[in-house]
Amino acid sequence: MTAMKKTLLFTIAILLSGAAGYGLQDFLRSDANTSIAPVPRPEFAMLDLKGTSRNIKDWDGKVVMLNFWATWCPPCLEEIPEFIELQDAYGEQGLQIVGVAVDDEQAVRVFAEGMGFNYPVLPGETDAIALSRRYGNQQGVLPYTVFINRQGEISHVIQGALSRARAEKILRQMGIHS
């Protein structure tokens, strides 16, 4: 095989690999990977930033957006202002966002002071990592958001950043409308 043919084959292989990677990335960002067959949510309780024990059962009957995040995660921090807006817009319809911080409590407290959270924040470090896994995040992706329907079942899972528009599309499927 000539050097020119080898170079051409190598170039084609690189292009095909890039296209496959792009296609996979596009799939992971699409709605195709978000909806799952509903499964019961795992039970848990954690302390919030005020030291109050919060149990997932506290929000029974609501649509819960359980968001795993960290202060050192740029995509996580980009989501939070939109989540605050979503909680304002849809809280009266039964939406409850709950932030589970995979982070040190002090770092979360300092960050939260200037953020204006209008939903519970549960700092948990290693407990939050374990909880994230119980909710299906085997790869340890952050941010990671789980939608729990009013019956207490996980119905949608988002690995990576979640835009307000995409969240609203899922919420509409769950009966929450603007």
**Residues pairing with 121 in the sheet:** 99
Of 137 and 2, the one with more pLDDT: 137
Q: Delimit the domains of the chain by residue range.
A: 1-33, 35-173
Mean pLDDT for the stretch of residues 7-20: 42
Number of other residues whose CB lies within 10 A of the CB of residue 10: 10
Average pLDDT, the chain: 86
pLDDT for residue 127 is more than 80: yes
pTM above 0.85, yes or no: no
- Tokens 């589970």, located at residue: 100
Would you state the pLDDT for residue 33? 52
Query: Which tens digits make up the pLDDT trace of 17-66?
Result: 433 333 334 434 444 457 788 899 999 999 999 999 999 999 999 999 99
Cβ-count burial 145-170 (b if 16+ within 10 Å, e if not):
bbbbbbebebbbbbbebbeeebbbeb
d(CA 71, CA 125): 11
Give CATH superfamily name and number for 35-173.
Glutaredoxin (3.40.30.10)
Cβ–Cβ < 8 Å for 129, 37: no
Q: Which amino acid is at 159?
A: Q
